[in-house]
Amino acid sequence: MKCAPEIVYHKLSAIYTIKEEDYIAYYVWLKTRNCFKVLVATILSQNSTDKSALKAYLELEKKVGVTPEKLSDADLSDIENALKISGLYKTKAKRLKIISKIILEKYNGLIDNLLNSSNPREELLKFEGIGEKTADVVLLTCRGYEVFPIDTHITRVSKRLGIVPMNAKYELISSTLKELFSAYNLLQLHHLLIAHGRQTCKARKPLCNSCIIKECCEYYSHRDGEARKSNTS
């Protein structure tokens, strides 16, 4: 990366407005302050857009209720019907029911008992259907733990900027961003990088010329250099 971390952070902060409804976990947290609901919302966002996941979450809340007790007791078909707008709804419905039962039985129905354990991330990763990103979203959003969730947008932006090598995996990207931006609000940075990936640093046809941090970017530098070579040849 060609700029200091603070330059990237402040430039992104200046151009992007974080709308809570565009980030389902953040939206649910601000509305409920309930970590179990945030976990459910984050699971629903897997292989789905935040927009459709939020619709599914609201339907689930309306038709079934988003508590360990209600999800555990509900017929699987009722959960599925509420989630149909979201991708992989059958798989998600089954996982939510199983997770709810385990939280009831092992943690007395209180996800806070899990989050207060000595290694909450490790405990979350024991559940089928909860991977690193889902666990980190819950821990960062609800408790402000020093973790950094990585999605496809953040992966793409990080690699193009040159923060990590092109073959970097989740753990390296997460730990590198966490270290580089340790002085800043990690949850806000998480949202800013997603916004940048969605709106500017797109997978196809990135809007490099209008990018606020193009001078920081290794990808832009290489692309611009190739363009200049073509123009002079």
- Give the span between the Cα atoms of 66 and 41, in whole angstroms: 9
19-31 residue pLDDT tens? 999 999 999 999 9
Cα distance between the two ends of the chain: 28
In the residue annotation, 133 being an active-site residue is answered as: yes
Select which of 37, 55, 133, 214 is catalytic: 133
Select which of 73, 78, 112, 151 is catalytic: 151
28-62 residue pLDDT tens? 999 999 999 999 999 999 999 999 999 999 999 99
146-168 residue pLDDT tens? 999 999 999 999 999 999 999 99
In the residue annotation, 214 being an active-site residue is answered as: no
72-117 residue pLDDT tens? 999 999 999 999 998 899 999 999 999 999 999 999 999 999 999 9
Please provide residue 16's backbone torsions phi and psi, each rounded to the nearest 5 degrees: -105, 135
- Give the span between the Cα atoms of 102 and 96, in whole angstroms: 10
pLDDT at 201 over 60: yes
